[in-house]
């Protein structure tokens, strides 16, 4: 039997707020999204009341999970500040976001067992962020680290495709999700939880809850590094995500064109605003090596990202050429670092991974984050 919103609301009749009012009548409930055996909604409460509401959230999740036809249920608590409370959002150019979060650094909790979480981000879509994230994760794995990868790209989750994952994660004990293992990586994707048909209007407000659950209710095990493939751009959704994930650092991917570089600068600036150290910039599609004659052409004017990194005072991590093998392998779920480990591209990604590891050591040792001199 297909589960509907009405079934969910009926089941929630039995769930009460801490004050004893049926949850559906408290005004705290978001839109309920139900379909294909999956149910999502959030409960928005005052930040100060979160503790009291957590059992309500749990109970709501339990009753929904128990409904016939429900394969997974995701219920999140979203904290709302009281009017007049000190702003949790960064001051500059900030507008009300899709979700409100705590400022970084104070209340943001790490994920138990995970040593470092790093974001791979870009100011602009389509620059090869996901391809870089996957190959960087594999490169870190090749250095002997235990690595996980989390696909947080709400606009277009890529890991199911880039890692050829068709199966759904299983639940453990009905509550926690078991990640998928691929090429030695521990993998979780928002694509496993959100259907492509799910409308964007829903994705915005729900993303933080889905993200929190992917961080905290997945059996990540012990990891040295978790690489997070972020949604492209520097809008509110991205900023909020950068605030919500306990990041040790961020890697910015850019192509060498001027326009992409402006976006990359915004990316650097966004992480600066939320006090996440920028571990460096990768120039993707940096140059073209002709597969038949070996001639190199700098079709996009190569070197721009390196210069931009220098200008911004952040490390430059490396250049990845535009190459058919990278595209074909990547899109076929056969990332080069795993499937052509002796090839030139795998070496490039491993070098980038080595630099990222060095930068992380610097962050761990408490060295000051790279100084960023330019605002977007
Ligand atoms: N160095 C490269 N050489 C050739 N093709 C590449 C390279 N890097 C990425 N691509 C290809 O470019 C396309 C976009 O890459 P990818 O999906 O990694 O970008 P993205 O920044 O994550 O995009 P989105 O913003 O949509 O998430 C893919 O088809 C990918 O295979
Ligand atoms: Mg992507």
**What is the DSSP secondary-structure string of 216-283?**
HSB---SEEEEEEEPPSS-SHHHHHHHHHS--SEEEEEE-SSHHHHHHHHHHHHHHHHTTPPEEEEEE
Ligand 2 center from residue 294 Cα (angstroms): 29
pLDDT at residue 200, rounded to an integer: 54
pLDDT at residue 87, rounded to an integer: 34
Asked if residue 363 lies in contact with residue 250, where contact means CB atoms within 8 angstroms, the answer is: no
pLDDT at residue 207, rounded to an integer: 67
- Closest among 27, 12, 30, 20 to 52, alpha carbons compared: 20
Ligand 2 center from residue 130 Cα (angstroms): 4
pLDDT at residue 357, rounded to an integer: 97
Handedness of CA 262, 357, 237, 179 (dihedral sign): positive
pLDDT at residue 176, rounded to an integer: 85
Q: Tell me phi and psi for residue 76, to 5 degrees.
A: -125, 150
Residues 283 and 253: their CA atoms lie apart, in Å, by: 6
Ligand 1 center from residue 292 Cα (angstroms): 22
pLDDT at residue 197, rounded to an integer: 62
Taking 50 as the pLDDT cut, the residues of the chain under it are: 81-106, 371-376
Both tokens assigned to 196:
């492509």
Both tokens assigned to 344:
């030139």
Residues 64 and 299: their CA atoms lie apart, in Å, by: 54
Beta-bridge partners for 76: 42
Closest residue to atom 12 of ligand 1, CA basis: 128
Beta strand extents in 81-212 (DSSP E only): 114-121, 147-151, 171-172, 176-177, 180-182, 185-189
Ligand 1 center from residue 330 Cα (angstroms): 8
The pTM (predicted TM-score) of the whole model is 0.74
Both tokens assigned to 258:
């001027």
Please choose from 296, 330, 347, 352 the residue to mutate so as to test ligand 1's pocket, defined by most ligand atoms within 8 A of CB.
330
User: Which residues, judged by CB distance below 6 Å to any ligand atom, belong to the binding site of ligand 1?
Assistant: 122, 125-131, 153, 156, 158, 232, 284-285, 320, 322-323, 326-327, 330-331
Ligand 1 center from residue 72 Cα (angstroms): 31
Q: What stretch of H or E contains 318? A: strand 316-322
Closest residue to atom 19 of ligand 1, CA basis: 128
If phi > 0 it is left, if psi is from -120 to 50 it is alpha, else beta; for residue 91 that is alpha
Q: Which ligand is nearest to the CA of 128?
A: 1
Angle between helices 324-331 and 129-142 (to 10 degrees): 90
DSSP state of 16: B
């Amino acid at each position: 039997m297909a589960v509907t919103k009405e079934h969910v609301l009926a089941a929630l009749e039995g769930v009460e707020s801490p004050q004893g009012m049926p949850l559906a009548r408290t005004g705290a409930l978001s839109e309920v999204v139900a379909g294909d055996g999956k149910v999502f909604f959030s409960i928005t409460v005052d930040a100060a009341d979160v503790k009291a509401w957590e059992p309500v959230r749990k109970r709501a999740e339990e009753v929904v999970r128990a409904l016939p036809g429900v394969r997974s249920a995701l219920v999140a608590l979203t904290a709302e500040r009281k009017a007049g409370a000190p702003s949790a959002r960064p001051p500059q150019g900030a507008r009300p976001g899709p979700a409100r979060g705590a400022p970084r650094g104070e209340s943001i909790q790490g994920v138990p067992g995970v040593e470092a979480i790093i974001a791979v981000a870009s100011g602009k879509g389509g620059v090869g962020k996901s391809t870089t994230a996957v190959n960087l994760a594999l490169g870190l794995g090749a250095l002997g680290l235990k690595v996980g990868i989390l696909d947080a790209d709400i606009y277009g989750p890529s890991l199911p495709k880039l890692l050829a994952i068709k199966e759904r994660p299983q639940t453990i004990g009905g509550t926690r999700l078991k990640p998928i293992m691929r090429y030695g990586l521990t993998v979780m994707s928002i694509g496993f939880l959100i259907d492509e048909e799910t409308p964007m209007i829903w994705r915005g407000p729900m993303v933080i809850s889905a993200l929190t659950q992917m961080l905290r209710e997945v059996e990540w095990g012990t990891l040295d590094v978790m690489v997070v493939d972020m949604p492209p751009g520097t809008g509110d959704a991205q900023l909020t995500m950068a605030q919500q994930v306990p990041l040790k650092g961020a890697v910015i991917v850019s192509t060498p064109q001027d326009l992409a570089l402006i976006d990359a600068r915004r990316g650097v600036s966004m992480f600066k605003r939320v006090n996440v150290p920028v571990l460096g910039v990768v120039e993707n599609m940096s140059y073209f090596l002709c597969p038949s004659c070996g001639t190199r052409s700098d079709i996009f004017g190569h070197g721009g990202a390196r210069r931009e990194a220098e200008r911004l005072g952040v490390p430059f991590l490396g250049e990845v050429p535009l190459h058919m093998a990278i595209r074909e392998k990547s899109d076929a779920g056969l990332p080069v670092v795993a499937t052509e480990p002796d090839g030139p591209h795998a070496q490039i990604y491993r070098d980038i991974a080595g630099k990222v590891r060095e930068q992380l050591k610097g962050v761990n040792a408490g060295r000051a984050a790279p100084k960023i001199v330019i605002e977007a």
